[in-house]
Amino acid sequence: MSRVGRKPIPLPKGVTVKIGAELQVEGPKGKLRVPVPAGITAKQEGGSLELMRENDSQAALHGLTRALAANAVNGVSTGFTRELDIVGIGYRADVKGRVATFTLGYSHPIEVLLPDGVDLKIDKQTHLVLTGYDRQMLGQVAANIRALRKPDPYKNKGIRYTGEALRKKVGKTGAGAKA
């Protein structure tokens, strides 16, 4: 049995939380809102935020709400990063302002508009570093970029998360080996 919901969330300096029908978390990096379901209450004591539930039927929502609130507090104070690598001859990326352009072996370059709150830095045209304060949006943008050219199971070419373990398949063997 998990007890995630009972764990208090420490509030770093510069982070303010307004408690109401939803939690409004504000910090140096931005503002986020976390919905609070019925039956779950929040209170701020000292330098921490605690979430409580009315009864055990809301145990799953209790842990979920606490995790979302902790991600919001962490995001507005320090932010999150996601790193991707582009592998393949001639595959590369470039960013100008809010538009990222990818050359991934298709007949045309692919342009991706980055949403507000997500920044992209590119090292050596093949290493992408996405940063942002909203963990859900950052993960979705990283998944959308990875979906442009998923890693090929035979040659491992494509876009992958840094450190992602891939299983390489064995290709075809000799021609016409019939017994």
Domain layout of the chain by residue ranges: 4-77, 80-161
Mean pLDDT across 17-46: 87
pLDDT above 70 covers what percent of the chain? 96
**pLDDT over 70 (residue 174):** no
Looking at residue 1, its pLDDT comes to 54
Q: Which fold has domain 80-161?
A: Outer Surface Protein A; domain 3 (3.90.930)
- Mean predicted confidence (pLDDT) in 112-130: 90
The helix/strand/coil state of 145 is helix
Task: Provide the pLDDT for residue 172.
Answer: 80
> Which CATH code for domain 4-77?
3.90.930.12
The per-residue pLDDT for 175 is 66
| DSSP state letters, 73-121 | HHHHHT-EEEEEEEESTT-EEEEETTEEEEE-SSSS-EEEEPPTTEEEE
Residue 4 φ then ψ, to 5°: -60, -40
